[in-house]
Amino acid sequence: GGTVLAAEVALQRGLACSTAGGTHHAFPSFGSGFCLLNDLAVAAKYLMGNSSPKRKVLIVDLDVHQGDGTAFIFKEETCVFTFSVHCGKNFPLRKQQSDLDISVEDGMEDKDYLSTEAHLPWLLETFRPDLVLYDAGVDPHWEDELGRLRLTDQGERELRTTISPHISRVFLFFNDSVSPRAVSERSVCDEDCGEQGRSCRCRYWRRIFKRHRQTGPQTLHRPQSS
């Protein structure tokens, strides 16, 4: 319910965030990878079913694991484009085919990882989605022992900064890492907001929302049929 609600708010206001969701490993008939229900798929199908013509949904999945359940669910759905950047040697062992998969090597660092996002402007221009579901996993960070990538705090900040200007209607997810250390060290705040720590996104997200309030949503238009 929260995922669907946040997606509806994104359509109404141009931007919405959810601190839960992104359970992209769940398949139609079974759960997988700690995911019972695929809320990305539920939200996309709900919003497509409530519009005529059907809304077009771009799913940008930057969790360190491939969104195999999401790819399988939408493999024959032309109104959904699935884009996944993931560590090729990480879970799941048997990958599904997304519309665009970028498999990266173990140990990849900031510069090379950031170069994979060059596909995003092209995808937005050619597919022209009505809604973008952005699964922003934190597990590519170097402190996630199970993620196997080497992104730094600065690299992740640059990643969000690189992506945000290109997306006008966006729904943001934050997947929790499966590494207890990474979760405990990176889910706290380094500003004066009652928490302690060094990796909070408070300042970053305030800038994003402030800019959005100033500029307003930029509608993505569906191509006119001939």
Q: Is 25 a catalytic residue?
A: yes
Give tens-digit pLDDT for 15-24. 888 878 889 9
User: Is the per-residue pLDDT at 143 higher than 50?
Assistant: yes
**In 3D, which of 187, 104, 116, 200 has the Cα closest to residue 147?**
104
pLDDT of 185:
45
* Confidence tier at 174 by pLDDT (50, 70, 90): low
- State how far the Cα of 6 lies from the Cα of 14, in Å rounded to an integer: 11
Residue 182 reports pLDDT greater than 80: no
User: Scanning the structure block, which residue is given the tokens 């997810």?
Assistant: 173
How far is C-alpha 30 from the geometric centre of its chain's CA atoms?
22
Domains of the chain (ranges; CATH) run 1-213 (3.40.800.20)
Q: Catalytic pick from 25, 65, 86, 141?
A: 25
pLDDT tens sequence across 100-123: 999 999 999 999 999 998 898 899
How large is the average pLDDT for residues 128-155? 91
Provide the pLDDT for residue 215.
55
CB atoms near residue 109 (< 10 Å):
13
Whether 41 and 80 have beta carbons less than 8 Å apart is answered as no
Instruction: State yes or no: cis peptide before 223, omega within 30 of 0.
Output: no
Q: Is the pLDDT assigned to residue 176 strictly greater than 80?
A: no
